[in-house]
Amino acid sequence: MLEPKKSDNLPLSGAVALVTGGSRGIGLAIAHRLTKLGASVCICGRDENHLKAAAAELGRDGAKILAVPADVSEASDIRALVDRANRELGPIEILVNNAGTYRSGPFHQLSEADWDTVLDTNLKSVFLVSSIVAPSMIERKRGHIINISSLAGKNAFAGGGIYCASKWGLQGLTACMAEDLRAYGIRVASICPGTVATDFSPHIGRDTSKMLQADDVAHAVESLLMQAPQSFISGIDIRPTQKP
């Protein structure tokens, strides 16, 4: 764990956030945004080298950082992750379910293993992590759960069968989570970006400068966290101003 270099009176000072898939791409951009707002941040991922590099990078923001290797499709890994975050940082107030993966191709040419990998990472993990984190939020009667979904959760396209299924499912899960938790003062929302210029998926023949950037998603996360106390935004769609 990297200790903070300074303490600032920032909007999220004292808050603890967990960002799954936080070692690169969108997750890393979100973690940066949260640290700059004053939160202590735990990131997790499967690649220890990426995690170490991300933790060192985030530590330069002056925040308290915890980087934990974990497979968020495994309940035992999640329990160990959450226990460690609670012990070393404090109760999780902000959960960003960002971990994701992608498989493309005509549905009839993909395998059962492809289905399991995508659905376990993109959908099952959100159920598992949220169900383990939520009881503490319920007890404290506050919290934010933000699920990073996709416009693929609303729009079909050729070759996207498994990925779209995972994101359509995530949209339904998010809406039901919001209804289950709103009475406890916990806000649940999804963010649905279009294609983002990261290494998550290929962008051959597209102008990446016109595409959404990871920080655009981080900005949406900040917007959800800075809402007025008597209401909540249940979802945000993000598109680029120009088609790449």
pLDDT tens, N- to C-terminus, the chain (244 residues) = 555 544 558 999 999 999 999 999 999 999 999 999 999 999 999 999 999 999 999 999 889 999 999 999 999 999 999 999 999 999 999 999 999 999 999 999 999 999 999 999 999 999 999 999 999 999 999 999 999 999 999 999 999 999 999 999 999 999 999 999 999 999 999 999 999 998 876 666 678 888 999 999 999 999 999 999 889 999 999 999 988 7
135-169 as b/e: b if 16+ CB within 10 A = eebbeeeebbbbbbbbbbbeeeeeebbbbbbbbbb
Contact 51, 43 (CB under 8 A): yes
Quick one: CATH architecture of 16-238?
3-Layer(aba) Sandwich (3.40)
pTM for the full model? 0.94
Q: Strand pairing partners for 41? A: 17, 65
Dihedral of alpha carbons 6, 144, 73, 113, sign = negative
- Distant-in-sequence, close-in-space partners of 243: CB < 8 Å, separation ≥ 6: 210
Amino acid (one-letter) located at 69: P
Q: What is the SS3 assignment for 187? A: strand
SS3 of residue 145 by DSSP? strand
Q: How far apart are the first and last CA of the chain?
A: 39
pLDDT in tens, 75-94: 999 999 999 999 999 999 99
Q: For this structure, is 184 an active site residue? A: no
Catalytic residue among 35, 42, 137, 163: 163
Q: Residues 236, 216: contact at Cβ < 8 Å?
A: no
Give residue 6's pLDDT.
47
State the DSSP string of 158-177.
TT-HHHHHHHHHHHHHHHHH
Rounded distance between C-alpha atoms, residue 55 and residue 60, angstroms: 9
> What are the residues facing 18 on neighbouring strands?
42, 95
| DSSP 8-state symbol, 178 | H
Q: State how far the Cα of 36 lies from the Cα of 88, in Å rounded to an integer.
A: 20
Task: List the strands of the sheet with 65-69, edge to edge.
Answer: 65-69, 40-45, 16-20, 94-97, 143-148, 186-193, 235-238
- Pull the structure tokens for residue 237: 């769609």
| pLDDT for res 180 | 98
- What residue segments make up the domains of the chain, in order of their start? 16-238
Q: Each residue of 201-244: pLDDT tens digit? A: 666 667 888 899 999 999 999 999 999 988 999 999 999 998 87
CA-closest candidate to residue 25, choices 191, 199, 190 = 199
For position 65, what pLDDT does the model report?
97
